[in-house]
Copies of this chain bind each other. A is one copy, B any other.
Amino acid sequence: MATSSAMSTVLGLLLAIIFVCTPGLVLSGELTTAEVMAAVSPSDWRSPEPGNLIYMQLPQGVVVMELAPGFAPKNVANLKTLVRERYFDGLAIIRSQDNYVVQWGDPAEDEEKARSIGSASATAAAEFFLAADETEISAIDSRDAYADIVGFADGFPAGSDGERSWLTHCYGMVGVARGSELDSGNGSSLYVITGHAPRHLDRNITLAGRVISGIEQLTTLARGTGPLGFYETAAEQTPIVSLRMGDDVAAEDQWDIEILRTDTAAFADYVKSRTFRHEEWFVDPTGRIDICNINPPVRVAK
């Protein structure tokens, strides 16, 4: 994210000062985030597969999402079909509800003039959770309000009760909108979490990925004034120029994206540094953390 890299710059400067002035801090094992990030090695980063990335071109800029086929294989497959067949090009962002979600799709979805979904399926099975043994969560030490176990799986925030595991509705997570029928979502309308994590949605709707760059293109949109933040007129909607799978983007236009792995010792150090806050500003470092306050660092070169 833009803010992460900006913060990294500042923290890097702070690190330089701290390291020069008080090298003992480093030896104590009580590392700040800047110190942890300065120590990560190239192998602590991963490059997401281009075939799992969606580039969303809006008039004001680009949003990049990483998909989570490990948790929602059927929904992700249907979504990829829609993207590859250019279903979304020319559709619109239809909703922005403050402290909740931004949503896009076909404004004419329920009308005669609705766009054909082509060879995609009209419905996709509910993929609200996996059996716990179908995925591996790198657990963090957190007393979570909603889940007995929380951590990261496939690089995404996840929760578990020991029997079922699911992706958690943290800021930036991308979900498959549905109506009242559980399989009524098919990927043709997606939402992004843009406020405090609405974790009560966990296990009630399919999450399919996360925004990894450009979320500010969505979060700064004017809020819709209709019920639930839907825009009341077409003029208020933001047109979608295009959605493209990363491997359909010309090589020279693909971004060089790296995300900190979430299953490494370096990431555990990162989480620890976010939990204990050894930066000098903090007078009462909490020693506690919420899964949605951990945002795996992203590096983007455009």
Contacts from A to B (Cβ < 8 Å): 1-3, 6-7, 9-10, 97-100, 126, 128, 142-146, 170-172, 180, 182, 195-200, 202-204, 215-216, 219-223, 225-229, 274, 277, 280-286, 288-290, 292-293, 295
Contact = CB atoms under 8 A, between A and B. Distances in A.
B98 A200 contact: no
Given A182-B283, A204-B284, A220-B222, A3 B196 contact: no
B3 A98 contact: yes
Nearest to A179: B281
Contacts of A144: 143, 145
Main secondary structure of the interface of A (DSSP, over half): loop
Nearest to A164: B284
Contact of A145 (B142, B203, B285, B295): B142
Given A145-B145, A288-B145, A9 B227 contact: yes
Contacts of A227: 6-7, 9-10
Contacts of A283: 126, 128, 182, 203-204
Contacts of A282: 200, 204
A288 B146 contact: yes
A285 B201 CA distance: 8
A274 B282 CA distance: 33
A180 B280 contact: yes
Contacts of A226: 6
Contact of A293 (B128, B199, B219, B288): B199
A100 B3 contact: yes
Given A196-B171, A286-B146, A6 B204 contact: no
A196 B228 contact: no
B222 A6 contact: no
A289 to B, nearest CB: 7
Given A98-B219, A180-B280, A204-B282, 8 more contacts: A3-B97, A128-B283, A146-B286, A182-B283, A195-B196, A200-B289, A216-B222, A220-B220
Contacts of A223: 2-3, 216, 219-220
Contacts of A3: 97-100, 223, 228-229
Contacts of A171: 99, 195-196
A288 B171 CA distance: 19
Contacts of A7: 227-228
Contact of A98 (B198, B199, B215, B292): B215
